[in-house]
Structure 1
Amino acid sequence: MTSDSESSAVALQRYIAFVEAVLRPQLKQTLAHRDALAQEVHEYQELSELLQELTHSKLQSLHTLLDIGERFHVRAKVDDTSLVTVDIGLNFHVEMTVPEAQIFVQKHLFHLTEKRNKWQEKAREVADHVNLVLASIQQLAALQ
């Protein structure tokens, strides 16, 4: 084996190690952040729809299924629909009127959507880096 082919083999191994040790985990983590934000956006969109329904129907009480976590639901009766408790983040919950909650939810949805879009862009950048390095690996392999 010549010195050039040895150095290209070493470079090839370095690129492969970089993809597997750095870029793929980074892409996986970035996509996980984006997906978590997408789930949160979905939950706030559902809350927004419920608040609109409460506003338009003028219900005094409500029968619903309540998510108690891990996709377990229980039947619940809400006697007073004039106030709702909203998770505002960091495990803080605030009691608000329905119009206040609607305003908060719309602002929070905008914020979450912007955040999700930033993570999506970061995921796109990392995926581009992965593709660039994989193309370099193919070029190095073709030279050997």
Structure 2
Amino acid sequence: MDKIQENKVQRFEEFIDCRLKPDLVRAIAERDKVFEQQKVFLDLRRYIENLEKNGVTSLRTLVNVGSEVYMQADVPDTRHIFVDIGLGFHVEFTWSEALEFISRKEERLDRQIEEYTQLIASIKAQIKMVYEGIRELLQLSADRS
């Protein structure tokens, strides 16, 4: 393999290692964050539906007050709940309003997951294409020998 081809192969490998692989890791991490958000809203939906089904209007529960420290709390009226809508804001909802908000939020999260999945597939295809280019370069040098 001559010096020019060797240099090209090295640049392709650097592109994969320094650009494409970090982009892939970042996209997977972002998609995982969205999966976590989706799980939180799914759990909230189930919890609200359970409250509705069982007609629970007050309850005693454990509340995380930070650093995995819990304390007991009495909730005198469960028909109104506060939902974290993002950026540190919480909105008071009735059960039906919360379920409607959760449905819209889940749709948005589903779209985000699909976008990240497409991005991940695109990056993987680019990596595969660059590896194929390297293989062809190496095959050309082998054919010349």
Aligned pairs for 1:25-104 within 5 A: 25-68=22-65, 72=68, 74=70, 75-104=72-101
Normalised by the size of structure 1, how large is the TM-score?
Answer: 0.88
Query: Does residue 1:139 correspond to 2:128, yes or no?
Result: no
Normalised by the size of structure 2, how large is the TM-score?
Answer: 0.87
Q: Are the aligned partners of 1:65 and 1:73 in contact in 2 as well (CA < 8 Å)?
A: no
Report the Cα distance in structure 1 between the residues aligned to 2:99 and 2:113, rounded to whole angstroms: 21
Report the Cα distance in structure 2 between the residues aligned to 1:109 and 1:62, rounded to whole angstroms: 27
Q: Are the aligned partners of 1:84 and 1:96 in contact in 2 as well (CA < 8 Å)?
A: yes
Q: Deviations over 1:118-143 (max 9, x none)?
A: 11111111111111111222222233
How many Å apart are 1:62 and its aligned residue? Answer: 2.1
Q: Deviations over 1:12-46 (max 9, x none)?
A: 01100100111001111111111110110011000
State percent identity of aligned pairs.
28
Q: Which runs of 5+ in 1 are unaligned?
A: none
Closer, same or farther: CA 139–20 of 1 in aligned 2, 3 Å: same
- AA in 2 matched with 1:87: D
- AA in 2 matched with 1:143: L
Q: Count the aligned residue pairs.
A: 140
Q: Which runs of 5+ in 2 are unaligned?
A: none
2:19 aligned residue: 22
Q: Deviations over 1:72-97 (max 9, x none)?
A: 36244322101100011122110111
Query: Does residue 1:111 correspond to 2:116, yes or no?
Result: no
Report the Cα distance in structure 2 between the residues aligned to 1:109 and 1:69, rounded to whole angstroms: 26
Matched residue SS, 2:14: helix
Pairwise CA RMSD: 1.8
